[in-house]
Structure 1
């Protein structure tokens, strides 16, 4: 399957992820190879609400939100082939290993979100993830995620 033909616009992303403004952090999927890898895009705008306090004199995207954006890209990779109900399921972090922050992400940057599938075992997915700006690594981490039902009986 050709990787350059699979991309998702915001309308498709909204059907796959339960996140909405202000926490939806993926604008477009540029490349998707099911069960292998994803390359997605987050346009970082000065209009993001977190810039009012982080930091008023020098706006910087919080590192935890860069990790969240990577997790959302990983969720899209998972959900591209796995059937799910975004209303009745949650995609949750269960671990983050080896997180590193290499450069600041500022308003006007295009954050490229890369996640590569490592393994899936007993309902746990593991990914290697990297966020880049202008070809330079901004952040990287190993992400560990799971899917849980929002049904009270399934908790």
Structure 2
């Protein structure tokens, strides 16, 4: 999937869209996507000016966005303005290596289960084949009250 297909399957936009391309997707099972990390990212100005490092929470968010694309494709739907997917849990998060400008962050997400509107995923982020972060993420769809 290119960026045009990605923005059809995610509600996120600049500066919070953290998926640049989907390399592989098997509906109901897994996705492999990536984020090109550049020095132009707005968070590098303050994290850290003397040693730019991608914040771990944004690595988790990038994994969650990849999971969102996988979920929408699995459900055969697209985001709608009347609902959102929220994080409801992050288990076993581990950060093994810093992600720096110039890295290509590969996002690997596998659906573990989906029950009663809650999705659980096994997630791994890699740079140059090395695991830089991993976690099990849980998300749930919620209607937006008007």
Query: What TM-score comes out, normalization by structure 1 length?
Result: 0.91
Instruction: Give, in whole Å, the separation in 1 of the partners of 2:106 and 2:117.
Output: 27
1:122 aligns with 2:116: yes
CA contact (8 A) 1:29 1:41 kept: yes
Q: C-alpha displacement at 1:25, in angstroms?
A: 0.2
Within 5 Å, which residues of 2 pair with 1:3-152? 8-82=1-75, 83-152=77-146
Q: CA RMSD in A?
A: 0.9
Q: Give SS of 2:125's match.
A: strand
Q: Give SS of 1:80's match.
A: helix
Instruction: Give, in whole Å, the separation in 2 of the partners of 1:34 and 1:84.
Output: 14
Aligned length: 145
Query: What TM-score comes out, normalization by structure 2 length?
Result: 0.96
Runs of 5+ in structure 2 lacking a partner?
none
Instruction: Give, in whole Å, the separation in 1 of the partners of 2:145 and 2:70.
Output: 23
Instruction: Give, in whole Å, the separation in 2 of the partners of 1:62 and 1:135.
Output: 20
Q: Give SS of 2:11's match.
A: coil
Q: Which runs of 4+ in 1 moved over 4 A?
A: none
The 1:84–1:14 alpha-carbon spacing in structure 2 relative to 1, beyond 3 Å, is: closer
Q: Give SS of 2:93's match.
A: strand
CA contact (8 A) 2:10 2:79 kept: no
Q: C-alpha displacement at 1:13, in angstroms?
A: 0.7
Q: Deviations over 1:109-151 (max 9, x none)?
A: 0000000000000000000000000000010000000111224
Q: Give SS of 2:52's match.
A: coil
Instruction: Give, in whole Å, the separation in 1 of the partners of 2:86 and 2:68.
Output: 9
Instruction: Give, in whole Å, the separation in 2 of the partners of 1:84 and 1:64.
Output: 25
